Structures are given as C-alpha cells and as structure tokens.
Structure 1
Amino acid sequence: MAEQGEGQEPLVDGVISASAAFEQGQSIAAARDMARDFLIALQRDHGLPVSERAMGMVELVVSELVTNARKYAAGPCLVQLEVCEGAVQITVWDSEPRLPTVQAPDPYRIGQHGLEIVMAVCRSFEIRREPVGKSIRATLVLADDPGGDVAGRQLM
C-alpha cells in the first residue's frame, strides 16, 4: 500500500488532487489502483465526467511512468494526480537525476516504448529536473471519448 497520508485532498481553488509514495517493493498495480480510485471518486464525489477512454489512458500512463521510475531509480517514487479545468495532470517524481531519452519510433525495437506511448496519448508532456531527481508530468483530458460515452454515467 501507499504511505500514510495518501488520499484525496479537498477541493481548493478548483483543484482536486491526490498523492502517494510507492516504495521499491510495492507493485505497479498499486499505483494504477490509486489512479482508478481517484477517477472513480471524481465522478462519485464531485460529479465530474470521466470517459472510459480517459480512465484507461490514465491507468496506462501511471503504469508506464511508475514502471520507468522502478526500473531506473533507486528508492521510492511519488505519484500526484491533480484535476483542473477538465483535465488530469499525472506527475511522477523519482530520485534519478538523469533525464529519460525518448527514442525515435522503431517497430522492430523490443521494449523501451513507454515514453512513446505516454507522449502519444497525452495532451501535454513535460520532463523537469528537480533539486533531487526529476519529475515527469503528463496531462490527459477527462471526458475525451471518441464514442461520447462517459464512464459511470447512464445516458438516457
């Protein structure tokens, strides 16, 4: 499980957020579960629309970014989800100071496609060097569903 103090923070200035620290021994699935629970709470507690596509894409992005943190950095990683103006920002911090390199697409390369995937599905993507380590932030629109269906909502 995530560390003490995890969870959803109250609505402040139109921003809803949640964060948790994940230790090296914890599964990546725990980070995905945290993201899914956060999005479900957005719908249930705040009435925000979250499409099925956005639900899946947020879980995918969290999984890819936490996988990279596990693979390349020692120690814990921090995951923060923040919603503002119909989009969710996913930020993953880790202690590794080296910035990741996004490789050119190559259909014959096996592995190392995670950042390519993240960049392809996100509205914006940013890598920042931090005083300790780095953070990667990806932004996805919550109600971005080509079929128009919204997860958890009954359409009449």
Structure 2
Amino acid sequence: MELLMADRATEQDPQAPGTGSVLASAAYDMGSGEIARARGFVREFLADAQSLHGLAVSARAMDLAQLVVSELATNVCKYAPGPCLLDLEAGDGLLGITMWDSGSVLPTSRQTDPTRMGQHGLEIVLAVCESFEVRREPVGKRVRVRISLLDGPQGGSTAW
C-alpha cells in the first residue's frame, strides 16, 4: 500500500504552537507492508526530535516506540483493515502515540497464557507503556499510549 500523507514538523515549524511538543502525523491504507513504514516513521520522527529539536530520547525508548507502533499497526491489519491515522507527539519526557482505525471492536487484554501462540500484542503494549487509553469514535476507534522517552528515575522506566 502507500503512505497517503505525512505532516512532519520542520526546522521552520518545529513545535506545535504554545505546547513545547514536536508533532507528526501519517495516514496509511493499512496492509501488512505498511507496518514497516509506520515503524520507520516513528524511528525518523524520534531521530529528528533528538537532532533537530534537542529532545532526549533513550535507545530503549526508540526501540519500544517502534515495537508499540508495530503491535498497534498489526492489530489494525488483522482486525480493521483500511485507513489508519498515526499521530505522534513528543515533549516533556514522553512520547504520545495515537492510532485511529475504522474498526469498531475495542481491543481487550487476554489472560496471560505462555502456551498461547500469538495474540500477545496488547499484553506487550500494556507492559511497556506508561498509559493506555482506547476510545470509541463516531467511526472506528482511537488508541492512545504514552511511552517515557527517558530511562531511569526521571522517566519511570528501568532497563529490563
């Protein structure tokens, strides 16, 4: 499929007015090939947030952000194929990831079962994120998570 739109902060317009946050959005026609594009979009966004805007982003946060977006995008491909919007917001030591899709079924966590093959994505997301929120929209749903961009006491995360 193809990237339909990308609106990224630039050096001339580095932050959302009055927020101190760096923002970016992308829209995808969600097929399985788009999962890698979404991961790449997050990787580039965080690299730009570091190099162009001076935000601290740990290597762990870079990896976790890509993992979370991959899991959320996989969920879209499996249960709500079609358009998908990905919004990123970095600032104040946190990365907000919001993903909208057209599916009406809200994700639910299953009881931990190490013998179960697959369907561990939401468990992974819940384990690595600072917060998780899902909202039903007039069309579809919106999932919003927050990840610490820092490691250790300030970010509330430690290496594991």
Question: TM-score, normalization: structure 2?
Answer: 0.86
Is 1:136 equivalent to 2:137 in the alignment?
no
Aligned residue number for residue 10 of structure 1: 14
Structure 1: which 4+ aligned runs deviate by more than 3 Å?
Answer: none
Aligned residue number for residue 133 of structure 2: 126
Aligned residue number for residue 76 of structure 2: 69
How far apart are the structure 2 equivalents of 1:140 and 1:111? Answer: 23
Amino acid at match of 1:21: A
Counterparts in 2 of 1:4-83, with a 5 A limit? 4-8=5-9, 10-11=14-15, 12-13=17-18, 14-25=20-31, 26-83=33-90
Unaligned runs of 5+ residues in structure 2 are: 153-157
How far apart are the structure 2 equivalents of 1:88 and 1:139? Answer: 5
Amino acid at match of 1:101: T
Amino acid at match of 1:17: L
Decide which of 112, 121, 124 is 1:117's aligned counterpart: 124
Q: Which has the higher contact order (CA 8 A, sep 6+)?
A: 1
The superposition leaves residues 51-94 of structure 1 with CA deviations (integer Å, 9 ceiling, x where unpaired) of 01000000000000011011101311111111131100001110
Q: Give the CA RMSD over aligned residues.
A: 1.5
The alignment-based identity, stated in percent, is 52
Amino acid at match of 1:10: P
